[in-house]
Structure 1
Amino acid sequence: MLTCKEQVARSSDYLDGQLSFREKLMVRHHLMFCRNCRRFIRQIRLMQATLRAMPEEAVPDVDALAERLAAERRKDNP
């Protein structure tokens, strides 16, 4: 059986479908018995879904926004 460290190292390849049949079975076997690694995989899947849902467009005038926020911070903390 894989250790948790080995499981984490294979997680990206597992989620991307890049493992061999044997490796995939080893990962699934580990996940059956390890609650922490199952939680880790769920968190990675949630993060991937969140990133896919984010807009790809850049925020307009992000430099101007950063400058305005910095100026407000300087004003509040002389």
Structure 2
Amino acid sequence: MLTCKEQVARSSDYLDGQLSFRERLMMRHHLMFCRHCRRFIRQMRLMQATLKLMPEPSVPDLDALAERLANERMKNKP
């Protein structure tokens, strides 16, 4: 059986579906008996759902920004 520390370390991979079948079984077995880790996983799921609902930040045109910074650097060069 996994320890709580191991459970927490693998929780992101578990929620993202990146564990093998055996690892998922070990996680589920631990969650059956550990209410603290069940609460932790519920909180992680809630956080993931909340983050998915947040709007994406607007990203400025990176090429234009890089060019502007390069021009500023050239102007300020002695």
The alignment's TM-score, normalised by the length of structure 1, stands at 0.72
Q: What is aligned with 2:13?
A: 13
TM-aligned CA deviation for residue 57 of structure 1: 3.5
Q: What is aligned with 1:51?
A: 51
Q: SS at the partner of 2:19?
A: coil
**1:26-37 residue pairs with structure 2 within 5 A?**
26-37=26-37
- Deviating above 2 A after TM superposition, structure 1's stretches of 4 or more consecutive aligned residues are none
Deviations 1:13-67 (A, max 9, x none): 0000000000000000000000000000000000000000011145xxxxxxxxx
CA distance in 2, matches of 1:57, 1:31: 35
The alignment's TM-score, normalised by the length of structure 2, stands at 0.72
Q: What is aligned with 1:42?
A: 42
**Computing the radius of gyration over CA atoms, which structure comes out larger, 1 or 2?**
2
- Give the residue type in structure 1 aligned to 2:17: G
CA distance in 2, matches of 1:57, 1:6: 33
Q: Once superposed, what is the RMSD of the aligned Cα atoms?
A: 0.8
Aligned length: 58
CA distance in 2, matches of 1:55, 1:23: 33
Q: What is aligned with 1:25?
A: 25
